[in-house]
Amino acid sequence: MRKWISFPHKEGLVSRQAHADLPSEAIYEREAGRSGFFGPTAHFHHKRPPTDWDSWEGPLRPRAFDLNRLNIETKSPFDAPVLLHNAHCQYRYWRCTQKMDTLARNADGDDLFFIHEGEGDFFCDYGRLTVREGDYIVLPRSTMWRLEPKSPITMLMIEATNDSYQLPEKGLVGPQAIFDPAMLDVPRIDDAFLAQQDDTQWVVEIKRRNAISKVTYPYSPLDALGWHGDLSVVRINWRDIRPLASHRYHLPPSAHSTFVASRFVVCTFVPRPIESDPGALKVPFYHNNDDFDEVIFYHQGNFFSRDNIGPAMVTFHPSGFTHGPHPKAFAAGLEYTRKETDEVAVMLDTRDALEVGPSACQVETIEYADSWKMK
């Protein structure tokens, strides 16, 4: 058994409440914390922004990748480039423009798909789902599936390697908060699913330990006539997420947790009102990235804490340094120029360090680390 050392203490010029009513002489608050946003914390009040560096050298620098410049149109989803990875997670980006003529099956772990663009039909062991921009799809490990796009589908793919996706514990706010599990859609064995069951030859590509095996059938193995139980593919759209918000206190990113695995968490930032209390912080607070690597995929809207970031871009902040809002965003927060956010973004926080794949390096925005410099 272990227990954090805990001794709440105040020293020097401080605010009585974190993230609110900051001292006018030291408005740049920095949070140092453990276990993401769930462990003990300390809050420092600085004279200058803790991100006001002159230069960066070394591999720890904050990084940004423009996925719009990436060639991601491949026949098989398993050929999609691996942008980031560790022993517990693979982060891919893939475009499907035509009806898949093979089935995919990932035996390495659960998959989470986020549809960035397009729409179509998703066929799997459990039946058929219509999918569209903004959908999350959770696939249990070893589910067979294929896509029939009605318009080209571009999607983020996050593998929970040797692991499973579950829902976060919602504690005091109750199980219906953020989204009610009743909002989760499951595939249907409908006429369209039955109609695709044919006797032509089908190949199933199975990924196991990152190697591909191919199994050929003289018929479509998506030939279920029914199923029952409590294990299934599920879908939910970001528009069905109702974010937690407080008019008097800026909530940490963990309040927006959507799916959790053993060694990482996926959060969703969706439009919400900005804090209206005069003393409340109105942008994300500066914080140390001490236990988790942070990755954000920008889907749409104006991400209010960043400059020059657009749809289909990814930022990567490895653990080990302080980061926070860009200077323009911090100034806008002080002036309370915006009353609500309009961004939609998917955040991945991993407990284990991520490696950057060669494809991501090819589309990196090298000057990103300089974007915090005070102009």
Binding residues for homogentisate: 323
CB-based contact 250:333 (threshold 8 Å): no
- Which one is catalytic: 43, 85, 88, 250? 250
Query: Is-catalytic flag, 250?
Result: yes
Provide the CA 156 distance to its chain's centre, in angstroms.
9
Helical spans, DSSP H, in 122-231 = 191-195
* Contacts of residue 121, Cβ cutoff 8 Å, sequence gap at least 6: 128, 129, 130, 131, 147, 148, 150, 192
Binding residues for Fe cation are 287, 293, 323
d(CA 65, CA 365): 6
The region that residue 204 occupies, defined by phi over 0 for left and psi between -120 and 50 for alpha, beta otherwise, is beta
d(CA 56, CA 61): 6
CB-based contact 207:107 (threshold 8 Å): yes
d(CA 302, CA 203): 42
Looking at the annotation, which residues are catalytic? 250
